[in-house]
Chains A and B, each alone.
Chain A
């Protein structure tokens, strides 16, 4: 693999950029592997990478029914953060954030992490109390978080609606400095390149049609490219996971919804933080190109179709204009949706399920992008050792029968 560096860029520049090679191999499947990962989004690619890097398991097939990074990894609003409430969640999401902080160096691929800080903004005294509770929880869990008053908050986002009559006038909020954004495509491509370099076969346009189970053990998968054998299979397919798991007679506590996102036309820099407004449920940041990247709550009709509907758009955009009346002049450039796998307690499902050798990494709902390095790290650990990492143990599927839910919808005010 050719290392990317300022020197290689300069050298190639002088040669007319004719020496670059594809970042990863386009592989065809072999008959057998040590492990199969289904799903070529960030979580699947990270799983394949950490299987090779952390556990020395390089005979890995990564199967993707479309193209890598074409699902939710390419459809999210690129925020990374770890401002959650429960210790289990903070341990999980902060593992991801810590890995993100070193990811560009680790992968030799610039994921353009920008820790510009994130404000969860409040507009009522009750919401300020919730923010204080989150800030306290974050500090107790050893993560950076601070409570901020209106003056400080408005200093960080000067275009916030300051009209005394404003319906959602900002009172302050909770701030995480280490939060920010990363380039979503680069995360997928960086993991793919590094994994492929260590021997992982990345197989695109390969649809899994059945899970092969013999005597209660997984023995491989059936695909439209033929049978592929392995005694360990990991599913990391977000909204497609329930259908895949059903092939192994596994039911999941998942409903699928569309989650929409929007970008405006590019404008000059005017918002250099990530902002989530508790009152409107709308969040927004500005990309390096100058587009405003906007998201909000779920569409309310369960669906597997990757497109959104007008009522949710209206809610998100009217929320945005309450926060920033000046944005009303902007034109929307694009709008799209991804299918997210929503679990009743808004926490992911990581762990074994059904036949021996089958492992899940799903249920991230609206928040999977920020967790990609941790999801990959933990699923790789499960596939390699057959046992939970201490951070993934609380997120096992058995928490529903045990009643040990990790309810981040109630804890951290997630918008679903």
Chain B
């Protein structure tokens, strides 16, 4: 069992967390001017980096989304932070 740290609740079991998306994706706007390819890229395509990764996770029990920086090979977490604008 790995322990992740929610920026709001502190350290909790990994089963309380869910991976949401890779961080840094920007929703293409406005929708009517967005090509199918750009929309598909936003919706489905990833970098799936090997090694350091910045990701958005959700702590399911408190419902907060947050940023997690971790290594996808060793699984070591180096940093957790609230999403921009959600900090204390």
Contact = CB atoms under 8 A, between A and B. Distances in A.
Contact of B1 (A252, A300, A309): A309
A300 B15 CA distance: 8
Contacts of B51: 304
Interface majority SS (helix, strand, loop, mixed), chain B: mixed
Contacts of A251: 41, 45-47
A200 B2 CA distance: 44
A115 interface: no
B46 A309 contact: no
Most B CB contacts (10 A, CB to CB) among A240, A304, A309, A403 go to: A304
B8 interface: no
A251 B41 CA distance: 8
A305 B48 contact: no
Interface residues of B, number: 26
A402 B73 contact: no
Contact of A309 (B2, B19, B37): B2
Nearest to A403: B36
Contacts, number: 70
A310 B19 contact: no
Contacts of B55: 302
Contacts of A304: 48, 50-51, 72-73
Interface of A: 240, 242-243, 246, 251-256, 300-305, 309-311, 341, 344, 400-403
Contact of A305 (B19, B36, B73): B73
Contact of A301 (B44, B48, B75): B75
Interface string B1-44: 11000000000011100110000000000000000110111011
Contacts of A254: 46, 48
Nearest to B55: A302
A410 B71 CA distance: 31
B74 interface: yes
Interface string B48-88: 10110101000000000000000011110000000000000
Contacts of A310: 1
A249 to B, nearest CB: 12
B13 to A, nearest CB: 8
Contact of A401 (B13, B14, B18, B37): B37
Given A243-B50, A305-B73, A344 B19 contact: no
Contact of B14 (A253, A255, A301, A403): A301
A211 B40 CA distance: 25
A304 B46 CA distance: 14
Nearest to A342: B48
A257 to B, nearest CB: 9
A253 B46 contact: yes
8 contacts: A242-B46, A251-B45, A302-B48, A302-B72, A304-B51, A310-B1, A401-B37, A402-B36
B14 A252 contact: no
A117 B15 CA distance: 35
B15 A311 contact: yes
Contacts of B53: 302
A245 B75 CA distance: 23
Given A252-B48, A300-B14, 20 more contacts: A242-B47, A243-B50, A251-B41, A251-B47, A253-B40, A253-B44, A253-B46, A256-B48, A300-B15, A300-B19, A302-B72, A303-B73, A303-B75, A305-B74, A305-B75, A309-B2, A310-B1, A341-B48, A401-B40, A403-B36
A97 B45 CA distance: 30
A344 B44 contact: yes
A341 B50 CA distance: 13
